[in-house]
Amino acid sequence: MSTTLNDFLMAKLVGSPASARPLRPGVFVDLDGTLIEPLPADLADPNPVRFMPGAGAAIARLREAGLAVVIVTNQSGIARGYFSRAQFARLQDVLERRLQEEFGVQIEDVAVCPHSPDARGRPACLCRKPAPGMLTRAARAHGLDLARSWMIGDTLDDVEAGHRAGARSVLLDSGGETEWRLSPLREPDGRFNAWEPLVDQLLTAVSPLPSPDPLRAASPAQMLDEPDRTTGVGSALSVRLRPSLFASSIPSAL
C-alpha cells in the first residue's frame, strides 16, 4: 500500500467531524517565516523557536477576538531525514509552551505535512501546501467555518492553500516568497510586511464577512478533481500524530 493511500485511510479513520455545534471562524497560520523565524534544516539549534517581530502579540489579539488559531506547516525535513518526528514534536512542545507563557495564547492545533515534494517541487502527497488538506482536515476536526476563516503565510503556496480550502488568504511578505508564480488562486486578499497592520485589518474585516469569491471557494468535488493549472495541485487530507495533524510599510486592503 502506498504512503499516500495509507495517509488517506488514516485521515478517514481519525477524521470524525466535530460535535454538532455552530461553526466558528478561525485563522490558519504558517510556521517558518510567518509565526517564527525559519527553522534550521536539522533542528540542531537547542533554542530554535524565535518569534517573528510582533507575531506573538498578534496571535494573542486573534485569540482575544474569539478566533481559533491553527498552525499549518510543511516540514519536508522529516521525509528527507534532516530531523525526526520526535524532534519536531519536541519543538512543538516548546512553541506551545512559549506561546502560553509569554503571550497567554493557547492554540487549537498544529497541522504538519512531513512529506517531501516531487522532483518538480509539487506536492507528492495529500497534505502538503498548496493543497488545502491540512486546513480542511483541521476545520472538520475543530468545527471551523472555512468561509469565515483566514490563512496567513509568507508564500503564495500558503495563499493558494487558503483559497483552495474556501478561506481568505493574506500574505505576510517577510521574504519567504521568491518565485511569485501568480494565478487567481495565488492572488492574496491582502499583503503586509508586518503583523500589527495585518491583524488590524483582519479584525476589522472578519465580521461581517462576505462570501468568498466563487472562483476560489470551489466545491469539495472541484478541489479533488480540478488541479490548479499553475501548480497541478488537487485537494488533500492530513493525518494526526501526537496532537499534531500530520497528513508593511503600506498594507493593501483586505
Residues labelled catalytic: 30, 32
Q: CB of 176 within 8 A of CB of 156?
A: no
Q: Where are the beta strands (DSSP E) in the chain?
A: 26-29, 68-74, 109-113, 150-153, 168-172, 190-192, 240-241, 244-245
> For residue 168, which amino acid is it?
R
Please compute Rg for the chain using Cα positions: 17
Question: Residue 170: helix, strand or coil by DSSP?
Answer: strand
In this structure, the chain runs to a length of: 254
The interaxial angle of helices 156-165 and 133-142, nearest 10 deg, is: 50
Which stretches within 18-128 are classed as H helix? 55-64, 77-80, 85-103
Q: Which residues pair with 71 in a beta bridge?
A: 29, 110
Farthest-apart Cα atoms in the chain, separation: 50
**How far is the C-alpha of 41 from the C-alpha of 237, rounded, in Å?**
25
Q: CB of 180 within 8 A of CB of 146?
A: no
**How far is the C-alpha of 183 from the C-alpha of 31, rounded, in Å?**
23
Q: CB of 234 within 8 A of CB of 223?
A: yes
Q: Which residue has the cell 476536526?
A: 141
